């Protein structure tokens, strides 16, 4: 097969492609000229939009490899209509993102960002143990389930879960409250952590209507897709509720900063990281497991 890499950020190391090379597949790098009619597989990350404008140049395409989890940059229905198989690695970054989320929860429960180096300052702050919080997990997929398991290990016993598709995918036995109304759930939660895909239904899921139901000191964590949160509504809420906080690993204008993001970053109750949730060595390595794709296709 001929594999064409359509983007190279973060850098796709040759070692990640070693399995394909050993199996005598041909690798065409993203900046290398190629007759697209001869390409069998394209490899994308999150930036390239796989739509009609792109696919019309690949008349004999058989597979799309998405390095990572989400498929919101791929026209899935169009690929189905053209009998193009889509492959991703939905489990690859679950451990990495979960660790970041749990670290953030501990960070905000102890308010480490606000503690000065003065020894006497340790008596000023009233810290809280993580197991004193009610935590809401919004979407219960690979990462949401790992977050839930970590919370149990940390003796958090007041866990709330919202996922409208939870029953349809098979209900595991969980020690948590399952909600079908998100507005009712957030009213109870001290911490909200978002792990949602980006769909028509989840766009602007957290807006001023939902924020109006949140506690005035709620802690909001988003490591999924930025567009599930309305930037301006969140900024207004955090400005009006200085005891609330937000920990954000994504933004709508990546890698640039729009005006609303700059306003959010200026708030003392916002911690914003540059989309690093999945950027561990282990998660990056697993997201390039092309041998899984190759082995599955050899069996068909």
Q: Judge if 171 and 294 occupy the same domain.
A: no
Residue 136: phi and psi, rounded to 5, are -105, 125
pTM: 0.77
Range of the domain at 262: 94-272
pLDDT at 142: 85
As a whole number of angstroms, the distance between CA 7 and CA 28 comes to 11
Q: Judge if 254 and 135 occupy the same domain.
A: yes
Strand order from edge to edge, sheet including 245-248: 177-179, 159-162, 135-138, 191-194, 219-222, 245-248, 270-272
- Output the domain CATH number for residue 54: 3.40.50.720
Number of Cβ within a 10 Å radius of residue 3 = 22
pLDDT at 159: 96
DSSP, residue by residue, 119-166: GGGGGT-----GGGS-EEEE--SHHHHHHHHHHHHTT---EEEE-TTT
Residue 208: phi and psi, rounded to 5, are -65, -30
pLDDT at 258: 73
Q: Judge if 28 and 48 occupy the same domain.
A: yes
- Closest to 191 measured CA to CA, from 224, 160, 230, 237: 160
What is the CA 112 to chain-centroid distance, rounded? 24
Q: Judge if 137 and 229 occupy the same domain.
A: yes
As a whole number of angstroms, the distance between CA 176 and CA 183 comes to 17
Counting the structural domains of the chain, the total is: 2
Q: Judge if 252 and 116 occupy the same domain.
A: yes
pLDDT tens for each residue of the chain, 300 residues long = 888 888 875 566 676 677 777 777 888 888 888 999 999 999 988 788 999 999 999 999 999 988 877 788 899 999 999 999 998 877 777 888 889 899 888 887 776 655 555 666 666 667 788 899 999 999 998 899 999 999 999 999 999 999 988 765 555 678 899 999 999 999 999 999 999 988 888 899 999 999 999 999 999 999 988 889 999 999 999 999 999 999 998 877 666 677 788 888 889 888 888 777 777 767 666 666 665 565 566 555
pLDDT at 152: 94
Q: Judge if 150 and 18 occupy the same domain.
A: no
Q: Judge if 81 and 219 occupy the same domain.
A: no
pLDDT at 238: 96
Q: Judge if 196 and 253 occupy the same domain.
A: yes
As a whole number of angstroms, the distance between CA 148 and CA 238 comes to 26
pLDDT at 193: 97
């Amino acid at each position: 097969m001929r594999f064409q890499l359509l983007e190279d950020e973060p850098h796709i190391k040759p070692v990640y492609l070693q399995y394909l090379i050993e199996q005598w597949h041909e690798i065409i790098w993203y900046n290398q000229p190629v007759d697209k009619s001869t390409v069998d597989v394209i490899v994308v990350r999150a930036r390239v939009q796989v739509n009609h404008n792109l696919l019309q140049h690949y008349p004999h395409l058989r597979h799309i490899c998405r390095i990572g989890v989400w498929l919101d940059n791929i026209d899935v229905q169009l690929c189905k209509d053209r009998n193009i198989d889509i492959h991703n690695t939905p489990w690859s970054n679950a451990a990495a993102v979960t660790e970041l989320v749990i670290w953030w929860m501990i960070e905000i429960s102890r308010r480490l960002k606000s503690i000065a180096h003065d020894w006497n300052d340790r008596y000023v702050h009233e810290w809280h143990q993580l197991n004193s919080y009610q935590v809401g997990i919004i979407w219960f997929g690979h990462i949401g389930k790992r977050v839930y398991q970590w919370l149990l290990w940390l003796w958090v016993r007041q866990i709330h879960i919202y996922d409208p598709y939870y029953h349809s995918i098979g209900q595991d036995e969980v020690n948590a409250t399952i909600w079908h109304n998100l507005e009712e759930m957030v009213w109870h939660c001290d911490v909200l952590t978002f792990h949602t895909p980006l769909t028509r239904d989840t766009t602007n899921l957290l807006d001023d209507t939902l924020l109006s139901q949140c506690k005035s000191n709620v802690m909001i964590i988003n490591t999924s897709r930025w567009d599930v949160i309305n930037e301006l509504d969140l900024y207004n809420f955090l400005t009006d509720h200085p005891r609330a906080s937000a920990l954000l690993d994504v933004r709508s204008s990546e890698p640039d900063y729009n005006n609303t993001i700059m306003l959010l970053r200026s708030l003392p109750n916002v911690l914003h990281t540059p989309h690093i949730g999945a950027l561990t060595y282990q998660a990056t390595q697993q997201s390039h497991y092309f041998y899984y794709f190759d082995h599955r296709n050899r069996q068909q």
